[in-house]
Amino acid sequence: MSIQWSDMSPLVVGLITFVLMWSDWLLTVLQERERSRHYAAHYQGYPVNTIEGNPMLQAAVKQARVVHMRHIGIALLLGGVVAYFTSFIGEVFRPMFLGYVWGLFLIVGSTHLGNLLGYRASRRGVHGKLYLHQRTGLLIQMGRYAALSVLLLVLAVCSASLFMVGVFIAGVTSTLRQLIWLRKVPAISADDSHPQAGFMKKNSGVST
């Protein structure tokens, strides 16, 4: 049974958009809680110890609050905007538009879920330490999104689905987003070495 995009009310579209955006936040917070409680001894990032790529959300994610009123407000606003545009977008382009918007959250949400499951699996049987530069982390994530975009392109072509075309564009946008954030991260110096313990404690909030 296929979705009848023309019969989907703007209210439902707005609600789905809100749920997807809030789910993205929830998975990010759960991932940070899991990492900080069970995995921080084995994994830390530098020069800033964070799992969040967006500089504007790093401080909020570190607080690990399930309900963050500013984010909730933005999610409600975005849901309303998407619902508004859906109400007058033509039937032909509506699936592609929703594929793009929802695809942005589905792609990043599935990545968060994979990381969360990996962190839970690492509660036992993990030894040693990993210090990952933010630039390296963003490049790895960019590679994941780029590889996924290839799969999405194949699915879009094979299915002849405008919704999948939108999701493919979301994959490309997600890849480019990592590149934009990469520009805000200092380059890895030629003599980059193991971060000093005091430096890592300072950035992880551990008092000495």
Cβ contact 141:204 at 8 Å: no
Given this model, what pLDDT does residue 208 score?
32
Whole-number pLDDT of residue 15: 94
Phi/psi for 21 (5° steps) reads -70, -40
As a whole number of angstroms, the distance between CA 3 and CA 146 comes to 28
Give CA separation, 72 vs 47, 51, 66, 68, in Å: 29, 20, 10, 6
Q: What is the pLDDT of residue 206?
A: 41
| Adjacent-strand bridge partners of 131 | 44
The predicted pLDDT at position 152 comes to: 95
Q: What are phi and psi of 97, to 5 degrees?
A: -65, -50
- pLDDT score, position 6: 67
pLDDT for the residue numbered 194? 67
Instruction: Give the pLDDT means over successive 10-residue stretches in the chain (208 positions).
Output: 72 93 90 81 79 76 79 91 88 90 94 86 78 88 94 94 95 94 84 62 44
Q: Classify 50 as helix, strand or coil.
A: coil
What end-to-end distance do the CA atoms of the chain give, in Å? Answer: 60
Q: What is the pLDDT of residue 131?
A: 83
Inter-CA distances, 13 with 24, 123, 141, 174, Å:
17, 38, 29, 21
